[in-house]
Amino acid sequence: MKIRTGFEIAFTLAQPTPMILMLSVHPSRAGDLLTPDTLAFDPPIPARAYRDGFDNVCHRIVAPPGLLTVSADLTVQDSGLPDPVVPEARQIPVEDLPDAVMVYLLGSRYCDTDKLSQTAWSLFGTGPEGWARVQAIVDYTHERIRFDYQRADATRTAHDGFMQREGVCRDFAHLAITFCRCMNIPARYATGYLGDIGVPKDPAPMDFSAWFEVYLQGPDGPTWYTFDARHNRPRIGRIVMARGRDATDCAISTNFGYAHLARFDVHTDEIA
């Protein structure tokens, strides 16, 4: 399967403003690119790329005053298969986890494990471990939070989402990640493209999507598995852009000064 994807995002600025952009496809999918993954700037400006501590591709720019448009359009080869479902995957004892994975057991900016640990153990402590426990967390989160694009809140933590019972895809991910970490299951945040492939067309404007990944012992060894608490079903055509502890590490733009978002368009479609 081939997927054409990309975006066009515009900012208006009153003065020169340094920015970090995280808008490239993650290096783990670099081998699937059929066309270059290049950011275009209008007006043209210099941009310097680097890899952050989570191996995400970032670009540093100084946005000029006025209107700045950032865009990309690319084609990606995809397996066309839905997210794997591996019910036999089991939880790995904490003492056997790799050092690099341990950070995904800890609380973070939006995943306030200290506030939800007792709740997590009361909800999931007596059930089966491994894949079944993660799925129970996904099922609960999917029912607990009501999706409402108009109720997005950049300051909402997992505990806030649990109490308010509303949010957007990142809030579903944060709550599920937090519950997993409370249950000693490494979990990390992921964001990227997710088009309406293999599912009914969503009439709402397309956006980047957020999901999460957990580290479990599968039949071929330990690996990261994808879960999606908002949709709660295996999906086709995920194209990851960034991974990290939570949305803090995966912000598509970080502005060191005020930048007004003037336009935001994302497209992700299967090529017939």
Name the CATH topology of 94-248: C8orf32 fold (3.10.620)
Give, in order, the Cα–Cα distances in Å from 88 to each of 52, 184, 219, 224, 265: 33, 18, 8, 14, 40
Pairing of strands 209-218, 187-193: antiparallel
Q: How confident is the model at residue 52 (pLDDT cuts 50, 70, 90)?
A: very high
Coil, strand or helix: which one is 159? helix
Tokens of 19: 């920015």
Tokens of 226: 């994808």
Residue range(s) of every CATH 3.10.620.30 domain in the chain: 94-248
pTM of the model: 0.96
Give the chain's end-to-end CA distance (angstroms, integer): 8
Residue range(s) of every CATH 2.60.40.2250 domain in the chain: 2-79+252-271
Q: Any residues with CB less than 8 A from the CB of 76 and at least 6 apart, and which?
A: 2, 3, 5, 25, 29, 32, 33, 34, 239
Tokens of 256: 């060191």
For the segment 139-180, what is each residue's pLDDT rounded down to a tens digit?
Answer: 999 999 999 988 889 999 999 999 999 999 999 999 999 999
Name the CATH topology of 2-79+252-271: Immunoglobulin-like (2.60.40)
Give, in order, the Cα–Cα distances in Å from 17 to each of 8, 20, 99: 19, 10, 37
For the segment 212-234, what is each residue's pLDDT rounded down to a tens digit?
Answer: 999 999 999 999 999 999 999 99
Q: How confident is the model at residue 86 (pLDDT cuts 50, 70, 90)?
A: very high
Q: Please, what is the average pLDDT of the chain?
A: 96
Q: Residue 243 in contact with residue 183, Cβ under 8 Å?
A: no
Residue 36 confidence (pLDDT) above 90: yes
What average pLDDT does the segment 75-82 reach?
97
